[in-house]
Structure 1
Amino acid sequence: MTLGVHRKARAGAPRGFFACEAAGLRWLRAADAVPVVEVLDVAEDHLDLVRLEPAPASPRAARDLGRGLAALHDAGADAFGAPPDGWSGDGFFGPLEHPLPMASGRYPSWGAFLAECRLLPLAAELRRSSTVDATTLNGLARLADRLRSGALDDDDTPARLHGDLWSGNVVWTAAGATLVDPAAHGGHRETDLAMLTLFGLPHLDLVLAGYQDVHPLRRGWQHRVGLHQLYPVGVHALLFGGGYVEQLRGLVRAEER
């Protein structure tokens, strides 16, 4: 059977952008846990993938997606912040037209990783662009200090994350849900789930139920969703402004209560 090809292309893409995405897709596929789009070819200016044929989301596919995500996370990573196998150095986060650098590292704790590789670099860009007020920036700095202290850590080991798991990166097909466009890295399993809630997902309750079938989540995970959404919402505030700026302010205020 001849496979259809979907080409992602951008002239002048940041060096390694498509190679990094290809490595992430292959790393996620290697877990053999949840469908992930297959890489056919990669070059500096494009990435060729198997073309997916969208279909309506179904309750059964949603529950299967949740179970698969739990198994994917359980496949693990070398460390918090570790890039996918086959890639070294920093990754990328954001739209094809304007991806931002996403720092990699190897941290023994999630809190230190989130502070050093996500929130502090984000705060520096927000300050440089005058996107948010000083109160919000100071709140991010205080939160980074708490994270580095280990106050928000738990005993969960590094999970194998998709890393940009909003609803647009879940393609529903006749065979179920397939993951695309990752920012793959080692992180906390609740991060992917918080991303799923950010813009909504069909049958999200069943996805979460399927996840709990395989790997029950730590008590109180619903109250930590905002913490895990700080980075993606902050990137949206930086790139698009508007309501995302106020949303970021609200998330920072909530973490200080």
Structure 2
Amino acid sequence: MVRSVDHVDFVKHNAAAPLGFFACEAAGLQWLSAAADGVPCARVLRVDERSLTLERLAAAGPERSSAHEFGAQLARTHDAGAAGFGAPPAGWSGPGFFGPLQQPLPMAYSCEDSWGAFYAAHRLTPMAERAAPLLDTATVAAVAAVVDRCAAGVFDDDDPPCRLHGDLWSGNVMWTPRGVVLIDPAAHGGHRETDLAMLALFGCPHLEAVLDGYQSQRPLRAGWRDRIGLHQLYPLLAHVALFGAGYAAQTRAAAESALRAT
């Protein structure tokens, strides 16, 4: 299970990949790339059940100007929209996945009218069940309380479903001479604050410039910083499930932050 680079192409390979894993990723890259003036994504060259071949990307150092442009492009990608909260990339009817190449977790698609109902039922609940054996009772209770508030619509607003990358941590943001290019999506219809919270989770170069660029195109709703923990809760639960209890304290902090946000 490796990523390899030859003289022209970049090949991701996993002989044990779940059925549809690479085709789903390819569909996500193509869907995100279709957003007018949005963030470029790595170009898909070939895909089969065991591998995905992409264009090779040249690396460059992160610059503040590139970060600002990335933020503006990301806002335009989000504004390209989706059919509903939890909707798959256009044309994709197979399974979804979240997590690393070596150990992807199942990620359900849906098409909900309410972001909170989608997030509670299709993100937090299944991932909390996976993580629960590694969490203490207080953390389990806090996560359950967040699920209840999401399901009740406490965090819903009038923002329509956005076209999300879905796994936008800094490792999936490639800085190149032509600006940022995205890789490895878990693309779906969701809330714009989810991608931004994911950027903040493990740090992103020039994050404030990214946010300034974003808000130059699409100002964020008041209180969005207070909701960062809410949107980070799902990937943190996934990290507990994948990598262990070392992420449990961060998960509890995110859940408690989400409860304070209400």
Output the CA distance in 1 between the equivalents of 2:118 and 2:94.
15
**1:4 aligned to 5, 8, 13, which one?**
8
**Aligned positions of 1:80-229 closer than 5 A:** 80-127=85-132, 130-229=133-232
**1:19 aligned to 4, 18, 23, which one?**
23
Runs of 4+ in 1 over 2 A off after TM superposition: 253-257
Which residue in 2 is equivalent to 1:243?
A: 246
Pairwise CA RMSD: 1.1
Output the CA distance in 2 between the equivalents of 1:243 and 1:136.
13
Is the contact between residue 24 and residue 184 of structure 1 (CA under 8 Å) also seen in structure 2? yes
Which residue in 2 is equivalent to 1:31?
A: 35
Identical amino acids, percent of aligned pairs: 57
Output the CA distance in 2 between the equivalents of 1:156 and 1:89.
27
Output the CA distance in 1 between the equivalents of 2:258 and 2:168.
22
Cα distance, 1:242 vs. partner? 4.0
Output the CA distance in 1 between the equivalents of 2:94 and 2:45.
23
Helix, strand or coil at the partner of 2:134? coil
Output the CA distance in 1 between the equivalents of 2:127 and 2:55.
33
Which residue in 1 is equivalent to 2:4?
A: none
Which residue in 1 is equivalent to 2:236?
A: 233
Kindly tell me: are residues 89 and 43 of structure 1, through their superposed partners in 2, closer, same or farther at Cα, counting changes over 3 Å? closer
Q: Deviations over 1:129-165 (max 9, x none)?
A: x111222222222221111111111110000000000
Q: Deviations over 1:213-242 (max 9, x none)?
A: 000000111110000000001101111124
Gaps of 5+ in 1: none
Helix, strand or coil at the partner of 1:41? strand
Output the CA distance in 2 between the equivalents of 1:85 and 1:185.
9
Is the contact between residue 89 and residue 104 of structure 1 (CA under 8 Å) also seen in structure 2? no
Output the CA distance in 2 between the equivalents of 1:119 and 1:7.
32
2:36 equivalent to 1:52: no
Output the CA distance in 2 between the equivalents of 1:49 and 1:174.
17
Helix, strand or coil at the partner of 2:16? coil
Cα distance, 1:67 vs. partner? 0.4
Is the contact between residue 75 and residue 160 of structure 1 (CA under 8 Å) also seen in structure 2? yes
Question: Which range moves more in the overlay, 74-83 or 236-245?
Answer: 236-245
Output the CA distance in 1 between the equivalents of 2:258 and 2:196.
18
Q: TM-score, normalised by structure 2?
A: 0.94
Question: Which range moves more in the overlay, 110-119 or 134-143?
Answer: 134-143
Helix, strand or coil at the partner of 1:48? strand
Is the contact between residue 226 and residue 257 of structure 2 (CA under 8 Å) also seen in structure 1? no
Is the contact between residue 16 and residue 50 of structure 2 (CA under 8 Å) also seen in structure 1? yes
2:23 counterpart letter in structure 1: A
Q: Deviations over 1:178-234 (max 9, x none)?
A: 000000000000000000001111111111000000000001111100000000011
**1:252 aligned to 229, 250, 255, which one?**
255
2:239 counterpart letter in structure 1: H
Output the CA distance in 1 between the equivalents of 2:181 and 2:116.
30
Cα distance, 1:87 vs. partner? 1.2
1:192 counterpart letter in structure 2: D
Question: Which range moves more in the overlay, 141-150 or 47-56?
Answer: 141-150
Is the contact between residue 170 and residue 180 of structure 1 (CA under 8 Å) also seen in structure 2? yes
Q: Deviations over 1:21-67 (max 9, x none)?
A: 00000000111311111000000000000000101111111111000
